[in-house]
Structure 1
Amino acid sequence: MTTRPLAAVRSLKVKLGLLVAASTTVAAIVALAGRSAGASVWLTLPVTLALALAVTQLLALGMTAPLREMTAAARRMAQGDYDVRITPTSRDEVGELTRAFTTMSRDLATVDAQRRELVATVSHELRTPLAAQRAVLENLADGIGGADGLDLAVRQAERLSQLVEDLLDLARVDAGKAPLATSDVALAGFLADVVADAEATGRDVRYDLDVEPGLVVSADPGRLHQLVANLLDNASRHSPAGGTVTVRALREPGGANHYVLEVADQGEGIAPADRERVFERFGTVGATDGGGTGLGLAIARWVTDLHGGSISFVDPAPGATGARARVVLPLTPPVRPAPKEAPVTTTVPEGPATAIRPSPPAPPISDDLFGGFWPDGTPGRLSLLAGSLGVGLLAAIVLPERNVGLGWTLLVLAAGAVVLGAARDRRDPFTLACAGLCGLLALVPVVRAAEWLTPLSLLAGGTLMVAGVTRGRTLPGFVVAGLSWPLAGLRGLPWLGRTLALLTGLGHGAALLRTVVLSVVGLLVFGLLFASADALFAEWAGALVPDADLDSFVLRAFITIAVGGVVLAAAYLALNPPRVDRAPGEPRPVAHRFEWLAPVVVVDLVFAAFLIAQAAVIFGGHDYLERTTGLTYADYVHQGFGQLTIATALTLLVVWSAARKAPRATYADRAWLRAALGVLCAQTLVVVASALHRMHVYQEAYGFTELRLLVDVFEGWLGLLVLAVAVAGWRLRATWLPRFALISGAVAFLGVVALNPEAWVAERNLDRYAETGKIDTGYLNGLSDDAVPALVDAPEEIRDCLLVGRTEADEDWLEWNLGRALAAEHLGVEPWPGEELACPAPS
């Protein structure tokens, strides 16, 4: 069973108070520890929230589950299914309610079973005499049977009447409406009268009556008559022809307050295994033989219980055969109080294990939050938890106090391996393509020294990862997939609970903790011994084991939790991806063509006017531009580049909207759609070319930078998308377009990385210096080591200004980076001289 920390607390209010106090305390301690260790707020805040939520989840475990289980059970009971049981897990008000609910459901199940059994058995008992009576009446209608047939019909009617009377008697007793009207009864005369009534039935048996003289008891004469009459009826029906039914009444030997009634026959008797079952309603023994109703002995037991006595079948007297019923009754029945409504008890009645089926576990609260968008039913997986924790520990070793390098690449590849191993559709071509691109992006930290490339590569890799594991197909699907990653930390809590339950089950709690502690102790003891005994071993251990000061330990603990949690959320997203692509609604084309065509034509005309203006600038020259606008050409191209980029992106939105609203029923509709949007895409490609030309002119005038290079690549990617949109529009099919945009964007970024952007920027600026004599040495000196192979070839008069202060860094193997290694080969081990340099001013 799952441990519930607050199960022993008997008050729900106290539980809530403890919950709030514990969560607040944990959050405060973790936040203070992170602040004292120097962790940034972006690292401290999510870790603090995660640990506070974990404490809340642990302490609140089971507090609301019984309420949800009772809700589900009540719905089942409303549909007629009373076979439910809710196991109480606490001693508070909710636990008491759970016990009362379980008692109620068990009682209702018992009543429902009795009702069904009664209906079935009564129907069965009524069918036999009715069928016989119908046959007799049909014979009489056909003139067959005569007086004998009438006698048989009367007997069947009497049997039906007796059955109804017996049922009414039992109903009165069950309802508690059968009080005793006691009076003094002289048993000798009373039993003689009952025997006389039994002799009147005409059965071929003899009755032997033996009553203790002068025996007077207090009893209800009517009920006692029912008891004895039913016993005599049962005995006479099972006695052989000419047999004897013995009736005896005497004080109980050794008991002054009770008397005994015995009725014995000379029939086949009752097997010991059946002696208790014969008192059930419609019991098999004596239920249908000889015309009985099957209720006589049940009524006999109820009458006995009313008088405070007991009834049973015992072995026959020595030397005798047959059945022997023995009734023990008090001389004075106990006072029976008026029936009262039974109070609700909080103790679950004992009963057979198969009588009640346990209620299924209540669905987690997160099911109500996410609904059908993100169903959950995946089993726990210890491998994913262990893998995510391992990645978190690797991050704690690699990230603090180390430069971007091989360790970062190993960390990203390890995280990707955990996520890909959890992916439900890891063999899907799109998922494999995204995984391959993610692998290439993971090489960026070890290949390039420019640190601004690493976060961009992580962002691109994360986007590809969530799109690949969720198999998104649309742009909204990609956005939803990205939002699902942080939400997986909440949606995956039930799955994490199932995984931790597996962990507890495997290690049996204390045994698992003991194993971990012993393993850590063994690692520390023998590791320290061998490190002190061997210098090389100590060097290896020092390269792997971080500093052990308190602040460093706290910081690394934060990193372990943060990175491990992020990877675990991504693994759950891959294991149980949400339905990011809802079934798209059918496009609703407009009723008239002009409704979509007119806006598109207007945009086409605006684009045409802009292109005419561009042509005027090209053919009019710089003098015409300056005379008309008052701007130099460099200022002119810089002024409009951003607007052209926005216009290119908005064109894609216009094309998408028009394609959804334009009707396609006729050939003319499709022709107008292709023509209008085709013209727009063609003009947009010209705008893209103009934007790229403007950026080139601006760079020639003001220099080359990484940002301007990225903007160039982004604008070129937009132009590629416009071309793809034109192809999709001509085919009138664009389901492949979102994935193409995602893959092509990642490939474009990898192209930038492969280009070595900072070296490219350095080369372009040096070429510009050779042509114009203009250069910003301070900017070029601030470039990363990726630019060093290009900077060492700079002219001598500026080389020292470009390389001053650079030297080989003292790094371990986890920080190894190809860009820095190549730079070290060009620079050597000594710092580049730079005393009293006279560097050109930026121009």
Structure 2
Amino acid sequence: MSARRELRRPALLWAVALGVLADALVRVPGRPGLNVALWAVAGGAVLVVLLRRRADPAARETRWLVAAALGFAGALVLRDAEALAVFSLFAAVALLMMAAGCAAAAWASRAQVSDIAFAVLRVAVLCAAGPLGWGRGARDPAANAAGWAHQARTVARGTVMALPPLLVLTALLMSADPVFARMIHDTFLIDIEPLVEHLVFAAVIAWLTAGYLRAFLVCDVVVIGRLRVPQPAFAAAEVSVALWLLNLLFVGFMAVQLRYLFGGADLVEVTAGLSYAEYARRGFFELVATATLVVPILLLADWAAAPDTSRSRVVLRATTLVLVVLLVGVIASAAYRMRLYQDAYGLTELRLSVSVVIVWLTAVLGWLVLTVLRGRRERFAFGSIIAGLACIAALHLLNPHALIARVNLDRAAAGAEYDGTYLRTLSADAVPTLLARLDQLPEAERCRVARMLEERWSGERRGGWRAWNLSDWRARRLVAPLTGTLACPGADVEARMKIPDVADRP
């Protein structure tokens, strides 16, 4: 309670400052870049300043979570792909919410799924409450209100006293100097709509920041401890029966589908009513969704089974292991279908993202075997989250749009079908690859790509320095010397290449 009273005023003042800073940095056209990274650094500095005023230091785990969040926010400066920016922002927000669960304690690494869910819910509620969360537990609300009222009356009286001479003197000075008169006129002739937009944006960010600082700086350990879902007392044998029904479903699915799931392209093409594109496309999304849904079912099964050291518990874990193996088979078939689709139509951002999700699901299943099936369920949630964050970090290192450009340009060089329209929509991350291999494209497509490079990457970026990122800066530096030399005569001719139907592209 005392920590809340001591930190309330500085936290609210810093929240207002961060709201104003966000309005100055973030409200620009274009994707987030340097602006969000700078704001995140400022927010991290505010956390450090406020933590020094608190008696309990932040746990090492909390410091690592905040540092990782700042790292993902800083990654916005490196790449230009919008999807990668969304993933990075999501990762940063998730890490910050876990860090605010209880900053003074190392709780996340051993928290179960329900603990993390409740902690995130607590942070979300406090963010929505904003500064109201700080008001609870004040020593004397009436005294505080009286103090604010006295200060407001003082300011109002002083303003009223200064108003008459202020108006008279201003009028005289405006008459004496037309330049000064124009300055006063321009200053007070305000377009109210932009002002309201700035005030509303800054106020919303300040409100959310005040709530987050409340969640981060004041750990409601007692409240979190009370948020427990009552555990049912199902017998391990009952849960095993339920899982065996799922096992039978997956066994039947694999038995029926095995002939053409792994039968190759020739078998697929001769199957009645099943085209190559339909076979590949209709498979992997449904199979990935199936695997994603089964993982929480396995966690619920382990949680719902009553603690038991008898043979029934051993049978339950064996049953779960069988289901995991079958699920790996389903994921393998999804990966196989994805490979078929990529071989047929090339690589896109969505197809690459689904492939990364498949890798993450495989890692999650392996981690489930190492933790849940060995009686260490409390380690599963945090490890799965770390695996997901590692996948996002790997995407940054992989540079998805450059990889997509390389794969599709290889297809073009080999004479295979490739989607030139999609290639021209890639971000600045792909520009170095496109420039390096421009001569490998057919003439018509080379002209289209060259025109796109000049149109998109010449001149200044929308949003100015606040939307700056390294890939965009590098792309503009590479294109600038070539401006006017990339154009092709007759650039409006149609491309002479086979492009798959848009309906076949997920």
TM-score by length of 2: 0.76
Whether 1:434 and 2:65 are equivalent positions in the alignment is yes
Mapped to 2, the partners of 1:453 and 1:503 lie a distance apart of: 50
Distance 1:708 1:731, change over 3 A: same
From 353, 356, 364, the counterpart of 1:710: 353
8 Å Cα contact 2:401/2:426 also seen in 1 = yes
| Aligned residue number for residue 405 of structure 1 | 33
SS in 1 for 2:28: coil
After the TM superposition, which residues 173-192 of structure 1 pair with which residues of structure 2 at under 5 Å, given as runs? none
| Aligned residue number for residue 645 of structure 1 | 288
Q: Which has the higher helix share?
A: 2
From 676, 679, 694, the counterpart of 2:337: 694
After the TM superposition, which residues 329-728 of structure 1 pair with which residues of structure 2 at under 5 Å, given as runs? 378-379=4-5, 380-403=7-30, 404-419=32-47, 422=50, 427-471=58-102, 473-488=111-126, 489-490=128-129, 492-493=131-132, 495-496=134-135, 501=144, 508=151, 550-578=192-220, 579-580=223-224, 582=226, 584=228, 587-591=231-235, 594-617=237-260, 620-728=263-371
Residue 724 of structure 1: CA displacement? 0.9
Residue 397 of structure 1: CA displacement? 1.6
Residue 636 of structure 1: CA displacement? 1.0
Distance 1:651 1:402, change over 3 A: closer
SS in 2 for 1:427: coil
What do residues 59-87 of structure 1 show as CA deviations (whole Å, max 9, x unaligned)?
xxxxxxxxxxxxxxxxxxxxxxxxxxxxx
Mapped to 2, the partners of 1:562 and 1:619 lie a distance apart of: 53
8 Å Cα contact 1:398/1:407 also seen in 2 = yes
| Aligned residue number for residue 819 of structure 1 | 471
Amino acid at match of 2:342: Q
| Aligned residue number for residue 801 of structure 1 | 448
Distance 1:583 1:483, change over 3 A: closer
| Aligned residue number for residue 122 of structure 1 | none
Greater relative contact order structure (CA < 8 Å, 6+ sep): 2
Whether 1:773 and 2:423 are equivalent positions in the alignment is no
Q: Which moved more, 1:798-807 or 1:431-440?
A: 798-807
Mapped to 2, the partners of 1:839 and 1:806 lie a distance apart of: 21
Distance 1:398 1:672, change over 3 A: same
Distance 1:549 1:670, change over 3 A: same
Mapped to 2, the partners of 1:570 and 1:761 lie a distance apart of: 38
5+ residue gaps, structure 1, are: 1-374, 522-547
8 Å Cα contact 1:438/1:465 also seen in 2 = yes
Residue 629 of structure 1: CA displacement? 4.4
Distance 1:511 1:742, change over 3 A: farther
Aligned-pair RMSD on alpha carbons?
3.5
Mapped to 2, the partners of 1:818 and 1:594 lie a distance apart of: 57
| Aligned residue number for residue 828 of structure 1 | 480
SS in 1 for 2:4: coil
| Aligned residue number for residue 169 of structure 2 | none
| Aligned residue number for residue 387 of structure 2 | 744
Residue 839 of structure 1: CA displacement? 5.0
Residue 442 of structure 1: CA displacement? 0.7
Mapped to 2, the partners of 1:762 and 1:512 lie a distance apart of: 63
What do residues 229-279 of structure 1 show as CA deviations (whole Å, max 9, x unaligned)?
xxxxxxxxxxxxxxxxxxxxxxxxxxxxxxxxxxxxxxxxxxxxxxxxxxx
Identical columns (%): 26
SS in 2 for 1:659: helix
Distance 1:753 1:768, change over 3 A: same
Whether 1:810 and 2:460 are equivalent positions in the alignment is yes
Residue 816 of structure 1: CA displacement? 2.6
Amino acid at match of 1:467: M
Mapped to 1, the partners of 2:198 and 2:348 lie a distance apart of: 36
Mapped to 2, the partners of 1:671 and 1:460 lie a distance apart of: 37
What do residues 445-482 of structure 1 show as CA deviations (whole Å, max 9, x unaligned)?
21112233333322221122112211452333333344
Mapped to 2, the partners of 1:724 and 1:503 lie a distance apart of: 57
8 Å Cα contact 1:450/1:784 also seen in 2 = yes
Mapped to 1, the partners of 2:315 and 2:374 lie a distance apart of: 14
8 Å Cα contact 1:431/1:468 also seen in 2 = yes
Amino acid at match of 1:780: L
Whether 1:761 and 2:411 are equivalent positions in the alignment is no
What do residues 76-123 of structure 1 show as CA deviations (whole Å, max 9, x unaligned)?
xxxxxxxxxxxxxxxxxxxxxxxxxxxxxxxxxxxxxxxxxxxxxxxx
Distance 1:514 1:697, change over 3 A: farther
Q: Which moved more, 1:675-684 or 1:495-504?
A: 495-504
Distance 1:689 1:501, change over 3 A: farther
8 Å Cα contact 1:478/1:580 also seen in 2 = no
Mapped to 2, the partners of 1:738 and 1:480 lie a distance apart of: 13
Amino acid at match of 1:460: A
8 Å Cα contact 2:328/2:362 also seen in 1 = yes
SS in 2 for 1:443: helix
Mapped to 2, the partners of 1:503 and 1:415 lie a distance apart of: 32
What do residues 401-438 of structure 1 show as CA deviations (whole Å, max 9, x unaligned)?
35433222101222344356556776323322321220
8 Å Cα contact 1:437/1:746 also seen in 2 = no
After the TM superposition, which residues 203-222 of structure 1 pair with which residues of structure 2 at under 5 Å, given as runs? none
Distance 1:640 1:496, change over 3 A: same
5+ residue gaps, structure 2, are: 103-107, 167-189, 501-506
Q: Which moved more, 1:768-777 or 1:460-469?
A: 768-777
Mapped to 1, the partners of 2:245 and 2:72 lie a distance apart of: 42
Distance 1:653 1:495, change over 3 A: closer
| Aligned residue number for residue 184 of structure 2 | none
Residue 695 of structure 1: CA displacement? 1.2
Residue 827 of structure 1: CA displacement? 0.7
Residue 731 of structure 1: CA displacement? 1.2
Distance 1:833 1:806, change over 3 A: farther
Distance 1:806 1:689, change over 3 A: same
Q: Which has the higher strand share?
A: 1
What do residues 743-776 of structure 1 show as CA deviations (whole Å, max 9, x unaligned)?
2222211221222211121112112222343222
Residue 510 of structure 1: CA displacement? 6.4
After the TM superposition, which residues 25-174 of structure 1 pair with which residues of structure 2 at under 5 Å, given as runs? none
Amino acid at match of 2:77: V
What do residues 526-571 of structure 1 show as CA deviations (whole Å, max 9, x unaligned)?
xxxxxxxxxxxxxxxxxxxxxx865443322222112222212211
Mapped to 1, the partners of 2:9 and 2:146 lie a distance apart of: 7
8 Å Cα contact 1:447/1:819 also seen in 2 = yes
Distance 1:399 1:596, change over 3 A: closer
SS in 1 for 2:27: coil
